[in-house]
Amino acid sequence: MTAVSLPAVLAGRPGVPRVVVALLLAAVLPPLAGATPLLSEPHALLLTGACVTAMAALSLNLLLGYAGQVSLGQYAFVGVGAFTTGIVTGVADLRLPWLLGLLASAVVGAGLAFLVGLPALRLRGLYLAVVTIAVAYAASESLFRIDAIGGGSAGKVVPRPYVGDTALASNASILAIGLVLLVLLWRADVNLTRSRLGRALRVIKADESVAASFGVDVARYKLLAFSLSGAIAGIAGCLNGTAYGTVTGAGYGYAQSLALLVVVVVGGLGSRGGVVAAAFVVTLYPEVLLSIVGDGIRGVDLVINGVVLMAVVAFQPRGYAGAMADARERRRARQGGEPPLPPTRPSLPDLGRPSGMPTPRRIHRGEPVLHGSGISVAFGGLQAVDGAGLRVDRGTIAALMGPNGAGKTTLFNALTGALTPDAGTVHFLGEDVSSLAAHRRAARGMGRTFQLIGLAKAETVYENLLIAQHLAAPYGVAAALTTLGSRAWERDLRDRADATMDGLGFGRYRDTPVGRLSHGQQRIVEIGCALVTSPELLMLDEPSAGMSPAAAEDLASTLIDIRDTLGRTILLIEHNIPLVLATADELYVMDAGRVIADGEPLEVVGRPEVVRAYLGQEVSA
């Protein structure tokens, strides 16, 4: 199943928390040696409960923390797992193996979550929240109470797993199973976050249009997130049902789902370690309090949970993990700030097209790389682009200029497929791509950057360069979860990311979150992201915006390098006239939605209609 073997777990391999290993040893070894378990049976059950919470937290964290989809009914999926195990293993006289129940829980959990995810494709976050609450109630109050499913008022009985002919009667043995499952899920989660799948989910959460521009099929990945989350929740439910022996709807309701939300938010959304730690703390501390203070304290823990949730959301929305990150940040700041920007003298490597991506179509000499014609876009009453067109030849830099509101970015978006124009056609490498979605155009070799930086800001430079190669490593979900069959791909991605980073002179910022770089640096990273898959055409929306003049000069030489050394084609929207004159071979000027001039840049900027467009209608003296 996963890359981690049991001996490796026992040996405390990095990435497996030592606490888990210690607990596993404590649970497994003494009974094997014929001694009394170190843990009392009630304590083992309690710890198993913590494992269940931790798994459920991982499932909610996948959905909410990684993919940004709100679920207030996660325990419905956990419950589905518990009841499925009961039904599958309880079928009269068949004595179906427990493992089959486990598998069925994962599958049914995934299936239900998939169904809940379907409306999520069209709903904004809060509508989805209401849907999930309704699911929580419908499942725990209604579905799980149907006699055929829930076994009537007594609840569904889940038999203990068998090894040979002996049932695993002790709670400690169930705890051992739970810990193994938790470690496996942890490992799968680690693999997931380091795979193209995890990266795709993170970038969807950050910005869906950025995700699409990197070639991520947003709808498909959202459904995947729901399904995986449902599967993990189902597994947690299977363990919970097995540990307690009977399952009733009351144990898997809205209240439990909200408690799980506390765990995930307090632990820190998106932080695997944080949410698992929080799961153990939140499950165990009330018992510790009870044993210290006595029965009078019963119920106070729930008040504490609610207050802590509010405080965390209001003051530290990134939870415990976020607070730790901030503390590290402050320590680093005290020890002296970031080193200044290194002189970016790029020597860009020619990486070639990644093997996972289609080779761009070959075109005849003289045929344009990009050709848009007759493009019109209207927003409400405003004709933003009005029959505009342009062509870009191979190995050249074309620039698009014009005053604010001239329609440059709108035309740009129509060319990349980010919006559908009312009229007009777009040909890319001789192929009519007018009806293709943005990510399909990206796959054909169109790389772009955004006016407002199109990067996942919270992720590091390196991560962003990996996310940008989404289409370059087309391995599937199983490979992502197990790393089997994805390693060669990932190695290739990392090599390309490293080469691009070094080529741009950004090696020392490898692990710096992009959001902490200066605006100009972010621009360069963004261009790196567009370049890393070696697209035929690079489309840049105001790359020099917010740059100092010196940085803009560096940018100019980078662009010239991309054209002359790598032989790529570039289309850029630019306000910075010196930059345009220093780089562009062809200049298009737009005003009021139309292309009013095009040709040799220096000649074009001198034309009266261009000067008029810039200085306005009434030139005063």
Partner 1 sequence: MSAAPMLEIIDVTAGFGAVTVLHGVSMVVPAGSIAGVFGLNGAGKSVTMKTIGGVVPVRSGRVLLDGEDVTTLSPEQRVARGMGHVPQGRQVFPGLSVEDNLRLGAYTLRRRRRARYAASLERTYSQFPVLRERRHQLAGTMSGGQQASLSVARALINEPRLILVDEPSAGLSPVAQLELRAVLEVVRQTGVTMVLVEQNVAFGLSLVDTAHLLQTGRVVHSAPVASLDNDTLATHLGIGRVLAGATGSALLARKRGTS
Partner 2 sequence: MGQVLLLGLIQAGIYALFAVGIVFVYRATRVLTFAGGEIGTASLYVAALVSTRAGLPWGVGALAAVTSAVLLGAAFEFLLVRRAVDADPVVLSILTVGLALTLLSVETLAFGSSPQGLAPPFRGGVELAGIVLSPTMIASLVVAAALGLGLQSALRRTDFGLGILAAAEDPAAVRLVGVPLARIRLVVWSASAGPAAVAALLVEPTVGFVTPGYASTLYLGGLVAAVLGGLTSLSGAVIGAVVLGLTESVAQRLFGDAGIPNLNYVVDLMLLLLALVGRNALPGLVAWIYPPPPAAPTSTPVAEEIPA
Burial class (CB in 10 A: 0-12, 13-18, 19+), 614: middle
The CB-of-556 to partner 1 minimum distance in angstroms stands at: 8
How many CA atoms does the CB half-sphere of 64 hold within 13 Å?
A: 31
Interactions with partner 2, residue window 297-316 (CB under 8 A):
299-300, 302-303, 305-307, 309-311, 313-316
Q: Does 405 sit near partner 1 (CB under 8 A)?
A: yes
The partner in contact with residue 600, picked from partner 1, partner 2, none with C-beta cut-offs of 5 to 8 angstroms by kind, is: none
Count residues contacting partner 1 (CB under 8 A)? 34
* Contacted by 403, from partner 1, partner 2, none: CB < 5 to 8 Å by type: partner 1
Kindly give the pairing relationship between strand 537-541 and strand 166-167: unpaired
For 205-240, give the DSSP string. HH-HHHHHHTT--HHHHHHHHHHHHHHHHHHHHHHH
Residue 339 interacting with partner 2 (CB under 8 A):
no
Beta carbon nearer to partner 2, 137 or 614: 137
133 touches partner 2 (CB under 8 A)? yes
Decide if 76 contacts 112 (C-beta within 8 A).
yes
Instruction: For residue 380, state whether it binds partner 2 (rule: CB under 8 A).
Output: yes
Q: Which two tokens stand for residue 50?
A: 């913590």
Measured from the Cβ of residue 343, the count of other Cβ atoms closer than 10 Å reads: 7
Least gap, CB of 560 to partner 1 (angstroms): 6
Q: Which stretch binds partner 2 (CB under 8 A): 345-353, 401-409, 414-422, 582-590?
A: 401-409
Task: Of 318, 222, 193, 252, give the one whose Cα is nearest residue 53.
Answer: 252
- Is residue 580 within 8 A of residue 601, CB to CB? The reply is yes
Interior CA angle at 348 toward 532 and 496, to 5°?
A: 35
Choice from 134, 323, 325, 437 touching partner 2 (CB under 8 A)? 134
72 binds, among partner 1, partner 2, none (CB under 5 to 8 A by kind): partner 2
Among 325, 436, 545, 566, binds partner 1 (CB under 8 A): 545
Closest-CA residue to 490 (of 475, 503, 510) = 475
Positions 37 through 76 that interact with partner 2 (CB under 8 A): 70, 72
**Site map (CB under 8 A) of partner 2, residues 438-477, x = contact:** -------------xx-------------------------
Q: What is the DSSP letter of 342?
A: P
- How far is C-alpha 439 from the chain's CA centre? 16
| Contacting residue, 220, 519, 600, 611, with partner 2 by CB under 8 A | 519
Tokens of 348: 């860009």
SS3 619: coil
- Considering only residues 252 to 291 of the shown chain, the ones binding partner 2 according to CB under 8 A are 254-255, 258-259, 261-262, 265
Residue 206 CB coordination number (10 Å): 17
Interacting span for partner 2 (CB under 8 A) from 25-33, 45-53, 123-131, 215-223: 123-131
Secondary-structure breakdown of the chain: helix, strand, coil percentages, each rounded to the nearest 5: 55, 10, 30
Per the CB < 8 A criterion, the answer to whether 118 and 180 are in contact is: no
How far is residue 149's CA from residue 473's CA, in Å, rounded to a whole number?
Answer: 43
Distance CA 134, CA 81 (A): 18
Selection from partner 2, partner 1, none that 611 binds (CB < 5 to 8 A by kind) is: partner 1
Number of residues counted as binding partner 2 (CB under 8 A): 65
404 contributes a contact to partner 1 by CB under 8 A: yes
Map residues 565-594 to x or -, x wherever contact with partner 1 holds by CB under 8 A.
----------x-xx--xxx--------x--
Torsion sign across C-alpha atoms 293, 298, 304, 307: negative
Residue 368 token pair: 């344009």
Residues 482, 1: Cα–Cα separation, whole Å: 6
Interacting partner of 145 out of partner 2, partner 1, none (Cβ under 5 to 8 A depending on kind): partner 2
Beta strand pairing call for 569-573 and 537-541: parallel
Neighbour count for residue 336 (Cβ, 10 Å): 7
Q: Judged by CB, which is closer to partner 1: 303, or 619? A: 619
CB of 351 to partner 1, least distance (A): 22
Rounded CA-CA distance 170/41 in Å is 7
CB of 526 to partner 1, least distance (A): 17
Site map 600..619 versus partner 1, x via CB under 8 A: --x--xx---xx--xxxxxx
Number of other CB atoms surrounding residue 376 within 10 Å: 20
Q: Which residues pair with 611 in a beta bridge?
A: none
Shortest separation between residue 183's beta carbon and partner 2, angstroms: 30
Q: Which does 477 bind (CB under 5 to 8 A by kind): partner 1, partner 2, none?
A: none
Contacts with partner 2, residue ranges (CB under 8 A) = 70, 72, 119, 122-123, 125-127, 129-131, 133-135, 137-138, 141-143, 145-148, 254-255, 258-259, 261-262, 265, 299-300, 302-303, 305-307, 309-311, 313-317, 379-382, 384, 404-405, 407, 409-410, 451-452, 518-520, 542, 545-548
Contacts with partner 1, residue ranges (CB under 8 A) = 380-383, 403-405, 519, 545-546, 556-557, 560, 564, 575, 577-578, 581-583, 592, 602, 605-606, 610-611, 614-621
